Amino acid sequence: MDLKDLYRDIILDHNRHPKNFGQLDPCDSTTHGNNPLCGDRLTLTLRLEGDRVSDIRFEGKGCAISIASASLMTEAVKGKDDLAIKHLSDLVHHMLTAHGETSAPPAELGKLAALAGVREYPARVKCASLCWHALDAALKHRANNLGETAIGCAAVSTE
């Protein structure tokens, strides 16, 4: 396992220059994600049209893996509906936790496949999955009309 498989150029680029960084105001749903283990925090703001995410931004502090993952996620889900996002989220979780897997991730993951190296570093899975858990919570709570929500340690667990 080479470190370069974890810290690929695309990851380092997204860490340095994250896409969709900031907050949408007004927005239709927002979530705070928090990973107490490493002190990572991120806030997602979403605009929704029906069951489609029409716009999304994230803001926060964290390691390169968490920032790049959130940046890549916002690019990947913008314009997609709930069902497509759920599918993508499942694929990402599978890719991140498939320890020992050597085959290439599915092509439909697109740029998100850059995070495949995480699967060899189990301690870092939570860094990469934090934003996806936050997105999941934002979409769920939107459905429940709960408005602003916060997810804590349990919600970012990937066990």
Partner 1 sequence: MNARPAEIPYDVARIRADFPVLSTTTRGKRLAFLDSAASAQRPLAVIEAVDRYERTSHANVHRGVYQLSQKATDAFEGARERVRRFINAASLKEVIFTRGATESINLVAQSWGQRLGPSDEILITWMEHHANIVPWQMLCERTGATLKVAPINRRGELDIEAFRALLSPHTKLVAFTQVSNVLGTVLPIKDMIAAARSVGALTLLDGAQAVAHQRVDMQALGCDFYVFSSHKLYGPTGIGVLWAREAILREMPPWQGGGDMILTVRFSGTTYNELPYRFEAGTPNISGAVGLAAAMDYLDSLGIERAHTHEQRLLALATVACHSIDGLQIIGEAKEKSGVISFVVEGVHAHDLGTILDDEGVAVRTGHHCAMPLMEFFGVPATLRVSFGCYSNDEDIDQLVRALGRAREVFG
Can you give the binding site for partner 1, defined by CB under 8 A?
1, 3-4, 6-7, 12, 36-41, 61-65, 121, 123-124, 127
What is the smallest separation between the CB atom of 82 and partner 1, expressed in angstroms? 31
What is the smallest separation between the CB atom of 99 and partner 1, expressed in angstroms? 15
What is the smallest separation between the CB atom of 154 and partner 1, expressed in angstroms? 17
What is the smallest separation between the CB atom of 61 and partner 1, expressed in angstroms? 6
CB-based contact 30:44 (threshold 8 Å): yes
What is the smallest separation between the CB atom of 57 and partner 1, expressed in angstroms? 21
In sequence order, the 6+-apart residues with CB closer than 8 A to the CB of 150 are 31, 32, 34
Q: Which is nearer to partner 1, 39 or 147 (CB)?
A: 39
Query: Would you give the end-to-end CA distance of the chain in angstroms?
Result: 23
Q: Which is nearer to partner 1, 62 or 105 (CB)?
A: 62
Closest CA to 79 of 116, 103, 46: 46
Q: Which is nearer to partner 1, 38 or 91 (CB)?
A: 38
Pairing of β 149-150 and β 29-35: parallel
Can you tell me which residue has the tokens 């968490």? 66
Q: Which is nearer to partner 1, 53 or 117 (CB)?
A: 117
Q: Which is nearer to partner 1, 37 or 143 (CB)?
A: 37
d(CA 148, CA 118): 30
- Provide the token pair at 137: 């919570």
